[in-house]
């Protein structure tokens, strides 16, 4: 079993049991395909390690990262070992030793790496392995492991504060590489999630984990890349879910609690997750940790509890 290499906003490690509990009884990991069109750190994919299917993320540098993990894990690990302490001085032998792209003085190694990571959105030539290694380095040393881009597509997260940041992650990279190698190279997509309308076949399982609709109009919205995902996108995604369901493709999706009514009215089986405790113990905190899991899989058609564990013996 592999685990995510990256920290990612909305990572789903806490929700794995709830997601598995909705897997259809007639879905079989060895023969049916599994698709994850909003991949991020891929918590469910890496835990599940399907033998067929596709993964996708619209974030181009994240896609390149997984291609490198799949194709060249040892070279990626070796490259990551070359990075220095994020708080140390910039390397004078390398570009951006003194000034960043905005002309401001660079006084820490982290900011030099950040400027180098932004070669691609600035139309400069870049090395895909270098870029992937920098993504991992910045993810492990940047503030909160956040991934955020400005409107020009430049990664702009400030340095984080960690006692002992680990940016090599050799074991995680190797295990993830094996999991990704169960798929064919062409199964790693860098597209809009809608590609899955062509890719998925009856009997397949699709897990959609889109950027969450904000709980309130003023709530901060997590931007994973320049572009965003708005209310119209959420409705279009629901249309895609219903189209897949019509064709006999199983779908599970997660989102914030505000989507409950929309999913319920569309005929999906939908449950609040994490809200039960808050509602029972403290009515004032209702909805505080509210997210929903919706699915086309009716309760009677789900795998019996424990199927996953039994299957692994």
Ligand X SMILES: C[S@@+](CC[C@H](N)C(=O)[O-])C[C@H]1O[C@@H](n2cnc3c(N)ncnc32)[C@H](O)[C@@H]1O
Residues that bind ligand X (CB under 6 A): 8, 10-12, 37-38, 40-43, 56-59, 192-193, 209-211, 224-225, 229
Which residue lies nearest ligand X, judged by its C-beta?
40
The token duo for 252 is: 């599970």
Q: How far is the CB of 40 from ligand X (least distance, A)?
A: 3
Q: How far is the CB of 202 from ligand X (least distance, A)?
A: 23
Q: How far is the CB of 90 from ligand X (least distance, A)?
A: 29
The token duo for 22 is: 């909705």
Give the integer Cα–Cα distance in Å for 16 and 14. Answer: 6
The counts of H helices and E strands in the chain are: 12, 7
Q: How far is the CB of 222 from ligand X (least distance, A)?
A: 7
The token duo for 204 is: 């397949």
Q: Which is nearer to ligand X, 83 or 229 (CB)?
A: 229
Query: Which residues are within 8 A (CB) of 166 and not within 5 positions of it... i.e. 6 or more apart?
Result: 140
Cβ pair 244, 227 in contact under 8 A: no
Give the integer Cα–Cα distance in Å for 293 and 22. Answer: 9
The token duo for 192 is: 């809009």
Helix ranges (H only) for 60-214 are: 60-71, 73-81, 109-117, 128-141, 170-181, 196-199
Q: How far is the CB of 212 from ligand X (least distance, A)?
A: 7
Torsion angle, alpha carbons of 36, 40, 41, 43, to 10: -40
Cβ pair 259, 20 in contact under 8 A: no
Q: Compute the Cα dihedral for 35, 37, 38, 42 and give only its sign.
A: positive
Q: How far is the CB of 37 from ligand X (least distance, A)?
A: 6
Q: How far is the CB of 43 from ligand X (least distance, A)?
A: 3
């Amino acid at each position: 079993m592999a685990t995510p290499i990256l920290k990612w906003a909305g990572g789903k490690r806490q929700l794995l049991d709830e997601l598995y509990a909705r897997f259809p009884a007639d879905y079989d990991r060895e023969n049916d395909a599994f698709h994850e069109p909003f991949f991020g750190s891929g918590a469910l994919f890496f835990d599940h390690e399907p033998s067929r299917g596709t993964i996708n993320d619209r974030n181009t540098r994240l896609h390149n990262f997984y291609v490198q993990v799949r194709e060249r894990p040892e070279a990626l690990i070796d490259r990551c070992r070359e990075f220095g302490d994020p708080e140390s001085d910039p390397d004078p032998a390398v570009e951006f030793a003194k000034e960043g792209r905005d002309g401001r003085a660079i006084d820490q190694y982290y900011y030099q790496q950040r400027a180098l990571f932004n070669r691609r959105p600035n139309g400069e030539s870049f090395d895909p392995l270098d870029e992937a290694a920098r993504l991992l380095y910045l993810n492990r040393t940047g503030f909160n492991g956040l991934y955020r881009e400005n409107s020009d597509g430049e990664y702009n997260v400030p340095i984080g504060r960690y006692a002992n940041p680990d940016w090599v992650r050799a074991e995680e990279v190797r295990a993830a590489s094996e999991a990704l190698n169960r798929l064919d190279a062409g199964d790693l997509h860098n597209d809009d999630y809608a590609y899955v309308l062509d890719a998925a076949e009856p009997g397949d399982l699709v897990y959609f984990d889109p950027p969450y609709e904000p709980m309130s109009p003023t709530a901060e919205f997590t931007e994973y890349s320049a572009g965003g995902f708005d209310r119209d996108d959420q409705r279009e995604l629901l249309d895609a879910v219903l189209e897949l369901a019509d064709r006999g493709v199983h779908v599970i999706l997660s989102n914030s609690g505000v989507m409950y009514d929309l999913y319920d009215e569309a005929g999906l089986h939908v449950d609040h997750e994490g809200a039960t405790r808050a509602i029972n113990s403290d009515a004032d905190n209702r909805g505080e940790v509210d997210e929903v899991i919706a699915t086309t899989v009716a309760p009677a058609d789900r795998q019996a509890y424990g199927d996953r564990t039994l299957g692994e013996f």
